[in-house]
Amino acid sequence: MTGLSAKKLENFMVIALVLTGILVTFNQIQLSAISSSFDSLTGSASKSTIFFGLGSKKSTDLSKVDVTEITSTAMALASLFPELDTIQNDEDAISIMVPTGTPEYSEALGGITFDDPVTSMEYLAKWYDTINSEVKQNDPEIWQRYLGLAAAPRGISCEFCCGVGPAGITADGKSKCGCKHNPAILALTMGLMKETDYSDAEILREAMKWKTMWFPRNMVGLAMEVAGTDPSQLKELPGMVGGC
pLDDT in tens for each of the 244 residues of the chain? 554 455 555 555 555 554 444 443 433 333 333 333 323 322 333 332 233 334 344 568 999 999 999 999 999 999 999 999 999 999 999 999 999 999 999 999 999 999 999 999 999 999 999 999 999 999 999 999 999 999 999 999 999 988 899 999 999 999 999 899 999 999 999 999 999 999 999 999 999 999 999 999 999 999 999 999 999 878 789 999 987 7
List, in sequence order, every beta strand (DSSP E) within 29-178. Answer: none
Same domain, 23 and 124: no
Cα diameter, the chain: 99
Which domain covers residue 44, as residue numbers?
A: 1-53
Residue 123 has a pLDDT of 98
Same domain, 96 and 208: yes
Question: Is position 3 within any domain?
Answer: yes
Residue 243 has a pLDDT of 76
C-alpha dihedral (81, 86, 91, 95), degrees to nearest 10:
-40
Nearest CA to 161 out of 218, 122, 77, 210 is that of: 218
Q: Hey, CA dihedral for 157, 179, 124, 220, is it positive or negative?
A: negative
* DSSP 8-state symbol, 169: B
3-state percent helix, strand, coil for the chain, nearest multiple of 5: 65, 0, 30
SS3 assignment, position 176: coil
Same domain, 26 and 85: no
pTM: 0.76
Residue 163 has a pLDDT of 82
Same domain, 1 and 103: no
210 φ, ψ (degrees, to nearest 5): -70, -35
The helix (H) or strand (E) run that includes residue 126 is: helix 117-138
Residue 12 has a pLDDT of 53
Q: How many domains does the chain have?
A: 2
Residue 234 has a pLDDT of 83
Residues 210/242, Cβ–Cβ less than 8 Å: no
Same domain, 133 and 214: yes
